[in-house]
């Protein structure tokens, strides 16, 4: 079966590409199967033996998902069990997406107590919903995957095994749209739990998938960005449409903040110097205060003049 439409999701990294080691079957994907990795880092997937088409990994500092693509959109991946006999799973027009995080409330509680930042699929932050919706919208526009579900995403662990929402072979064969690992026949996994699929699809339909503008970075964030600088301050694999901090803008902001710090230091130095010249003189308190205030004002004016000269 021939593949149609763009096969690479814009901005997705192909660093971990498994299509060469484990060639899949060409298909016309009309289903998105959502998974959760039950971990906090990008899985190795056994070198690709159990890899999906895509992995969405959270970048909490940037409040966005970083996308990794392992197979073409219209090529079967390997994250589902496919038993002998029965229906096909991985190869039945299913594009699969793993979300790095957990659907298990017990794991969520343990990681929270330990201080591990993570995605908990039943309680996804708005930025994660936004980016998952952007993917769903792209899949719909370019591959005709319906922005619909029609299945119930049950909470884990009730979603495991014979959960009452797992499709029969006939239902699976006829299904189009968005479902979870918990819905696929011949499988027993319960991920991604009670993922807010309705909110994700609503955002995709309503067009509320545009990246949010980054807030002005703090001094600590700027320092970290410079120390880890790689051309442009951005998220690896981020879409080109996302706003980023270029090197020049980071340098400008750092210089502004350094200039402010220099003004404070200059004022302090001027005050100390003036106090030293007045030491031992027979002057009253008011005169000392006035003299120090004038010295501070002169110092700040000088710094402002220097700054404006540099920026013009």
* pLDDT tens-digit series, residues 22-79: 999 999 999 999 999 999 999 999 999 999 999 999 999 999 999 999 999 999 999 9
List the one residue out of 61, 131, 63, 135 whose CA is nearest residue 96: 135
Joined tokens for residue 40: 């906090």
Partners of residue 214 on adjacent β-strands = none
pLDDT band at 131 (very low <50, low <70, confident <90, very high): very high
Concatenating the DSSP letter of every residue in the chain gives ----S--S-TT-B-TT--TTTS---B----EEEEEE-SSSS---HHHHTT--SEEEEEETTTTEEEEEE-S-TTB--S-S---SSS--STTTTEEEEEESSB--HHHHHHHHHHT----BGGG--HHHHHHHHHHHHHHHHHH---S---S--PPTTTTSSS-S-PPPHHHHHH--EEEEGGGSTT----TT-S--HHHHHHHHHHT--SPPPPPPPPHHHHHHHHHT--SEES-TT--TTS--EEHHHHHHHHHHHHHHHHHHHHHHHHHHHHHHHHTT----HHHHHHHHHHHHHHHHHHHHHHHHHHH-
Contacts of 307 (CB under 8 A, 6+ apart): 259
Is the overall model pTM greater than 0.75, yes or no? Answer: no
pLDDT band at 108 (very low <50, low <70, confident <90, very high): very high
pLDDT tens for 239-255 read 444 444 455 555 566 66
The whole-number pLDDT of residue 310 equals 41
Joined tokens for residue 291: 């003299």
Report how far Cα 91 is from the mean position of its chain's Cα atoms: 28
Concatenating the DSSP letter of every residue in 176-201 gives -EEEEGGGSTT----TT-S--HHHHH
pLDDT tens for 54-68 read 999 999 999 999 999
For residue 240, count CB atoms less than 10 angstroms from its CB and return exposed for 0-12, middle for 13-18, buried for 19 or more. exposed
Mean pLDDT estimate for the chain: 84
The whole-number pLDDT of residue 43 equals 98
List the one residue out of 90, 79, 25 whose CA is nearest residue 54: 79
How far apart are alpha carbons 144 and 92 in whole angstroms?
A: 15
Segment of 176-185, 208-217, 288-297 carrying the highest mean pLDDT: 176-185
How far apart are alpha carbons 181 and 94 in whole angstroms?
A: 11
The whole-number pLDDT of residue 41 equals 97
pLDDT tens for 259-300 read 776 776 677 777 676 666 666 666 666 766 676 677 666 765
pLDDT band at 214 (very low <50, low <70, confident <90, very high): very low
């Amino acid at each position: 079966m021939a593949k149609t439409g763009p096969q690479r999701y814009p901005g997705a990294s192909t660093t971990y590409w498994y299509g060469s080691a484990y060639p899949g079957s060409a298909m016309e994907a009309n289903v998105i199967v959502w998974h959760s990795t039950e971990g906090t880092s990008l899985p190795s997937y056994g070198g690709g033996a159990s890899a999906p088409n895509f992995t969405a990994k959270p970048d909490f500092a940037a409040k966005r998902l970083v996308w990794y693509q392992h197979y073409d959109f219209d090529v079967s991946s390997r994250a589902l069990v496919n038993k002998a006999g029965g229906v096909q799973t991985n190869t039945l027009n299913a594009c699969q997406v793993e979300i790095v995080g957990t659907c298990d409330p017990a794991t969520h509680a343990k990681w929270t107590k330990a201080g591990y930042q993570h995605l908990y699929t039943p309680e996804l932050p708005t930025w994660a919903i936004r980016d998952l919706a952007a993917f769903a919208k792209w899949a719909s526009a370019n591959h005709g995957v319906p922005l619909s579900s029609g299945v119930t995403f049950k909470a884990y662990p009730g979603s495991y095994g014979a959960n009452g929402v797992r499709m029969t072979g006939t239902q699976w064969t006829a299904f189009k749209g968005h479902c979870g690992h918990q819905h696929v026949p011949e499988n027993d996994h319960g991920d991604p739990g009670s993922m807010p699929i309705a909110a994700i699809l609503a955002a995709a339909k309503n067009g509320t998938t545009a990246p949010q503008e980054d807030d002005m970075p703090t001094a600590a964030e700027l320092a970290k960005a410079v120390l880890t600088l790689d051309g442009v301050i951005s998220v690896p694999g981020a879409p080109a449409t996302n706003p980023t901090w270029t090197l020049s803008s980071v340098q400008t902001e750092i210089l502004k903040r350094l200039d402010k710090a220099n003004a404070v230091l200059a004022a302090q130095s001027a005050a100390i110097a003036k106090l030293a010249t007045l030491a031992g003189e027979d002057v009253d308190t008011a005169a000392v205060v006035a003299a120090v205030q004038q010295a501070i004002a002169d110092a700040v004016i000088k710094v402002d003049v220097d700054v404006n000269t540099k920026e013009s």
